[in-house]
């Protein structure tokens, strides 16, 4: 079911969000019996605390939700999403306590709290509904929430049911929904079409590699999104240990994230031309798997020495990025679950990104803070270019030494793009349940990019 606000009704139960220092004023404004009840329940407006206010007959007449103080709220986000899951089923409306960006974040959090992955377990129990608060763009928030839900669902689906062919099917469904054009090059046709590295990485799998190419829009600046679609990553001949392979169904998180973002852009009918490129492969092992020390020639003509077959994502992205450049887009953005080094640097909750354009970086960072989608700019540190130059070929896909792994991967990708370029090295996974974000697949950076597009592309 799509994530949506409840229909407006006169019977929606008012929710009053109360900061710690506003508790006395709220209690003073309640009927005596409700104020006494709230005090008896030990309500101190602590972050996430809830008290149901009864009417004279004992039915729920209102809800007080604790919002704590700024020091507590700053340690997380989407706090109201946790409230949505705790309330009795019914329709509610945020009646007081939040305005502006905080109200918009709360409304989005409530919508996202309604997401659950139930493909194999049956429908989850319904949660409380929210009537769209006055002052927010309800349609926009619903579109954003459903774009995020698409990303989560694609990542959450195990590789047995989300291989390159199923990822293509999802892209075709997305294209059909928005009247977009789609073209897919599959299997050995990739060789004929000059996508050698996509083919090489995916050829060992029984599930054929492919390049998915979606186009939408006829006017305005062109934005090209490139998403890593490694539907499962064994590591290839440099096989991962079991502990590292356990989450590899999420290695197509970049593809899932750009598809969610593409849904947002198309559903909002932004005045731009959109292209989405997804190299979809499975990095498997068989007699024709590519090997360490192989040298591959890319679509761009640059040669790449393979020093680790587990650094395959940058290979498939390189061919797709080369293609993205060929029709002179105004901006190229790649998203990929690319390196463990990025997680060591910033952890699972922050999306590090790279760009040479200070104005673009400022736009994304400002937007990220506004929409509660944390990002952090990392440097395209040019002096490290020598680390990705092995001597025997133009590029090294896995520099030795272990230093600056996320930066060297980003520098590798930059070699294949001449257009204005931004790269996100995302995680795509929520390790433990948080408000509005259950454990599992999660979008990172997409909402920040969406909010920054008007400035980056002069929309």
Active site members: 240, 314
Residue 99: CB atoms within 10 A of its CB come to: 11
Are the beta carbons of 4 and 126 closer than 8 angstroms? no
Rounded to whole angstroms, the Cα distance separating 149 from 360 reads: 26
Q: Which spans in 1-160 are helix H?
A: 23-29, 32-40, 70-73, 79-86, 100-112, 138-156
The length of the chain is 459
Question: For residue 296, what are its two tokens?
Answer: 């591959």
Rounded to whole angstroms, the Cα distance separating 65 from 87 reads: 10
Are the beta carbons of 31 and 112 closer than 8 angstroms? no
Rounded to whole angstroms, the Cα distance separating 288 from 305 reads: 17
Short-list 255, 234, 230, CA closest to 244: 234
Question: For residue 106, what are its two tokens?
Answer: 């709360």
3-state secondary structure at position 407: helix
Rounded to whole angstroms, the Cα distance separating 159 from 428 reads: 15
Q: Which spans in 122-186 are helix H?
A: 138-156, 164-177
CA 112 to the chain's CA centroid: 13
Burial class (CB in 10 A: 0-12, 13-18, 19+), 179: exposed
Question: For residue 47, what are its two tokens?
Answer: 């972050």
The position carrying tokens 């293509």 is 168
Angle at 413 between CA 448 and CA 193, to 5 degrees: 110
The position carrying tokens 């949660």 is 127
Parallel, antiparallel, or unpaired for β 303-305 and 295-297?
antiparallel
Rounded to whole angstroms, the Cα distance separating 320 from 264 reads: 22
Are the beta carbons of 319 and 196 closer than 8 angstroms? yes
Question: For residue 198, what are its two tokens?
Answer: 């996509």
Residue 215: CB atoms within 10 A of its CB come to: 18
Rounded to whole angstroms, the Cα distance separating 50 from 16 reads: 10
């Amino acid at each position: 079911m799509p994530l949506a606000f409840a229909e407006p009704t006169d019977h929606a139960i008012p929710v009053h969000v109360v900061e710690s220092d506003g508790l006395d004023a709220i209690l003073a404004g309640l009927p005596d019996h409700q104020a006494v009840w709230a005090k008896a329940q030990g309500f101190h407006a602590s972050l996430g605390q809830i008290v149901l206010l009864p009417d004279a007959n004992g039915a729920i007449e209102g809800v007080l939700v604790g919002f704590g103080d700024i020091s507590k709220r700053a340690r997380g986000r989407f706090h109201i999403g946790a409230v949505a899951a705790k309330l009795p089923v019914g329709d509610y409306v945020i009646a007081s306590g939040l305005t502006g960006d905080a109200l918009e974040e709360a409304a989005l959090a409530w919508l996202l709290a309604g997401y659950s992955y139930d493909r194999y377990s049956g429908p989850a129990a319904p949660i409380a509904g929210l009537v769209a608060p006055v002052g927010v763009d309800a349609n926009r928030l619903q579109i954003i929430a459903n774009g995020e839900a698409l990303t989560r669902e694609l990542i959450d689906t195990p590789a047995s049911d989300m291989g390159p062919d199923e990822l293509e099917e999802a892209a075709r469904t997305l294209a059909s929904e928005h009247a977009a054009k789609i073209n897919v090059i599959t299997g050995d046709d990739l060789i004929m079409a000059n996508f050698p590295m996509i083919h090489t990485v995916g050829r060992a799998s029984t599930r054929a590699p492919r390049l998915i190419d979606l186009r939408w829009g006829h006017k305005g600046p062109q934005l090209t999104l490139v998403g890593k679609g490694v539907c499962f990553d064994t590591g290839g001949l440099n096989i991962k240990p079991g502990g590292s392979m356990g989450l590899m169904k999420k290695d197509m998180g970049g593809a899932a994230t750009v598809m969610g973002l593409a849904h947002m852009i198309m559903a909002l009918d932004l005045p731009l031309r959109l292209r989405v490129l997804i190299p979809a492969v499975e990095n498997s092992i068989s007699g024709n798997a590519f090997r360490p020390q192989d040298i591959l020639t890319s679509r761009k003509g640059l040669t790449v020495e393979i020093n680790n077959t587990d650094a395959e994502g940058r290979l498939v992205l390189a061919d797709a990025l080369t293609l993205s450049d060929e029709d002179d887009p105004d901006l190229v953005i790649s998203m990929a679950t690319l390196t463990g080094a990025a997680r060591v640097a910033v952890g699972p909750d922050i999306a590090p990104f790279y760009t040479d354009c200070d104005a673009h970086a400022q736009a994304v960072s400002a937007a990220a803070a506004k929409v509660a989608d944390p990002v952090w700019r990392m440097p395209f540190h040019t002096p490290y270019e020598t680390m990705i130059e092995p001597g025997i070929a133009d590029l090294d896909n896995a520099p030795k030494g272990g230093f600056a792994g996320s930066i060297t991967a980003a520098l590798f990708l930059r070699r294949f793009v001449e257009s204005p370029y931004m790269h996100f090295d995302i995680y795509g996974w929520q390790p433990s349940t948080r408000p509005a974000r259950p454990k599992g697949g999660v979008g990172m950076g997409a909402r920040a990019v969406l909010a920054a597009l008007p400035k980056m592309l002069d929309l």
